[in-house]
Amino acid sequence: MGGAVDRADPDAGARSGAGAHTPHHPALPGWDAIAVQALRDREFARLDAAGLAYLDYTGGGLYAASQLAAHHALLRDGILGNPHSTNHASQRSTRLTAMTRQAVLDWFGADPDTWTVIFTPNASGALRLVGEAYPFGPGGRLLLTADNHNSVNGLREFARRAGAEVTYLHLTTPELRVDAEVVTDALTTPAAGGGLFAFPAQSNFSGVQHPLEWIETAHANGWDVLLDAAAFAPSNRLDLGRWQPDFVALSWYKLFGYPTGIGALIARREALGRLQRPWFAGGAIDVASVVLMRHTMADAEAGFEDGTVDYLAIPAVGMGLDFLRSVGIETIHARVTHLTDRLLRGLAGLRHRDGTPLVVVYGPAGLDRRGGTVTFDVLDRTGRAVDVEEVEATADRQGVLVRTGCFCNPGASEAARGITADEVARIYALGPNPSHREMRAVLGDKPPASVRASVGVATVERDVDRLVEVIAGYAG
Ligand SMILES: Cc1ncc(COP(=O)(O)O)c(C=O)c1O
């Protein structure tokens, strides 16, 4: 490691001088360095106090200081009780939970007559609620993009067990998108017995934003649509007045860091009515009898919230939304776009001394239909990927926090590297927990894992530049 680095500006083809570690890219509209720094100083001062460049927003967002203060005040001054009771404390919790549900609907522009919000432990919990209750059966279908988080891939186990057919839509390289004709063909094949189409609004691997127009094509052809908004919602407006998937899954900590342990399934009431829950629990039923062994499910969201909801933490979701509103989702989007541009340009400009690229980015190299998640490998002079553990540890030592691995998105990861089913079978044959060295012996030059950097509401340009500097250190 170490050595001088040439920086090629991908636009101008110019090279800046040695040691010039700050790329000079023009700011995109919406970038106001003073306002960004003021927000950082006011709400996220702990980042600078710790000297950290946090670049894992797709892993988890960061909470603002004011969110904590507001929630702390509520808990400190309030008496909140289990909402299944009717006393004063209980009614207060019920009211706060109802207000938070309404705040969620407002945030997404969702009409309460059409939509409802179910609080879940996380996005995975929301996805599982749909998977376990969806009426899959012989003749039915589950259609998935190969680009999906494992918590969506896992739905295929419910579908398979019920005898439904599972189909994946494969990705094209290098952009890691699905061809428009491939989607249309798959959606217009009659979905005998019904079908569920599940895709992410934004990839947690490549940052690709898949077309929300797919929702309408799917509906026109009789499909139900499950939209995974976990990676999209933190820095993009999801307007459920305009887009009407049947189910939307997300985790709140990805939007605003706190609280963890709560997500939501935002569902169209009519679609929810078609789900058949596989069991019942306290809180989710109106009546249950033991002598007669019958039960009646509660209506709408109540029938999907098992046991006692996290009534102390749920109000903090509303406070998180208040914080996002105070900044503005369009402002966050514009800032994330600018920082993504800076990161992509910074990485693309890195070269070894002989001019060979230092970095390969998986997915879109530019800003077209993509969000603020950038996955890449660092290449040595022979073009071989440097072990990601090494890169992560080096970055970490310099206070730059990124994520490494395949990010629970095996489909995008395999497509990015051209990993075949045969190679995966050989890796499985190695037994449980093969080492990176063993996997590389099977995969040859195809790296088994990558580095992921993602930007968010508290990111400043300097955070991005620090990562580029760390990677620049690998030039040889
Ligand atoms: C796109 C996407 N979907 C689903 C999930 C699952 O979220 P959780 O782990 O909060 O359930 C994640 C988490 O990283 C994600 O990025």
Decide if pLDDT at 18 tops 90: no
Q: What percent of the chain has pLDDT over 70?
A: 94
Q: What is the pLDDT of residues 216-265, one digit of tens each?
A: 999 999 999 999 999 999 999 999 999 999 999 999 999 999 999 999 99
**Which amino acid, 216?**
E
pTM: 0.94
Decide if pLDDT at 6 tops 70: no
Looking at residue 337, what is its pLDDT?
98
Q: Band of the pLDDT at 8, cuts 50, 70, 90?
A: very low
Looking at residue 193, what is its pLDDT?
53
Looking at residue 3, what is its pLDDT?
35
The mean pLDDT of the chain is: 93
Distance CA 210, CA 172 (A): 13
* Residue 406 CA to ligand 1 centre (angstroms): 13
Task: Say if residues 337 and 18 touch (Cβ distance below 8 Å).
Answer: no
Looking at residue 21, what is its pLDDT?
52
Decide if pLDDT at 12 tops 70: no
Kindly give the number of the ligand 1 atom that is closest to the alpha carbon of 408: 14
Decide if pLDDT at 339 tops 70: yes
The residue contributing the CA closest to ligand 1 atom 2 is 230
Kindly give the number of the ligand 1 atom that is closest to the alpha carbon of 229: 1
Residue 230 CB–ligand 1 contact under 6 Å: yes
* Residue 151 CA to ligand 1 centre (angstroms): 7
Q: Band of the pLDDT at 190, cuts 50, 70, 90?
A: low
Instruction: Mean pLDDT check: name the lowest of 73-77, 136-140, 188-192.
Output: 188-192
Looking at residue 327, what is its pLDDT?
97
Decide if pLDDT at 5 tops 90: no
**Domains along the chain?**
6-60+329-406+449-472 (3.90.1150.10), 68-326 (3.40.640.10)
Q: What is the pLDDT of residues 446-455, one digit of tens each?
A: 988 999 999 9
Q: What is the pLDDT of residues 57-99, one digit of tens each?
A: 999 999 999 999 999 999 999 999 999 888 999 999 999 999 9
Average pLDDT of span 370-385: 96
Residue 204 CB–ligand 1 contact under 6 Å: yes
Residue 473 CB–ligand 1 contact under 6 Å: no
Looking at residue 11, what is its pLDDT?
39
120-141 burial, b if ≥16 CB within 10 A, otherwise e?
Answer: bebbbbbbbbbbbbbebeeebb
Looking at residue 194, what is its pLDDT?
65
Looking at residue 436, what is its pLDDT?
78
3-class SS letters over the chain = CCCCCEEECCCCCCEECCCCCCCCCCCCCCCCHHHHHHHHHHHCHHHHHHCCEECECCCCCCCCHHHHHHHHHHHHHCCCCCCCCCCHHHHHHHHHHHHHHHHHHHHCCCCCCCEEEEEECCHHHHHHHHHHHCCCCCCCEEEEECCCCHHHHCHHHHHHHCCCEEEEECCECCCCECCHHHHHHHHHCCCCCCEEEEEECECCCCCEECCCCHHHHHHHCCCEEEEECCCCCCCCCCCCCCCCCCEEEEEHHHHHCCCCCCEEEEEEHHHHCCCCCCCCCCCCEEEECCCCCCEEECCHHHHHCCCCCCCCCHHHHHHHHHHHHHHCHHHHHHHHHHHHHHHHHHHHCEECCCCCECEEEECCCCCCCECCEEEEEEECCCCCECCHHHHHHHHHHCCEECEEECCCCHHHHHHHHCCCHHHHHHHHHCCCCCCHHHHHHHHCCCCCCEEEEECCCCCCHHHHHHHHHHHHCCCC
Q: Band of the pLDDT at 22, cuts 50, 70, 90?
A: low
Distance CA 403, CA 393 (A): 10
Substitution site in 251, 252, 256 for ligand 1 pocket (most atoms within 8 Å of beta carbon): 251
Q: What is the pLDDT of residues 395-431, one digit of tens each?
A: 999 999 999 998 999 999 999 999 999 999 999 999 9
Residue 250 CB–ligand 1 contact under 6 Å: no
* Residue 128 CA to ligand 1 centre (angstroms): 12
Instruction: Mean pLDDT check: name the lowest of 293-297, 391-395, 444-448, 469-473.
Output: 444-448
Average pLDDT of span 98-116: 98
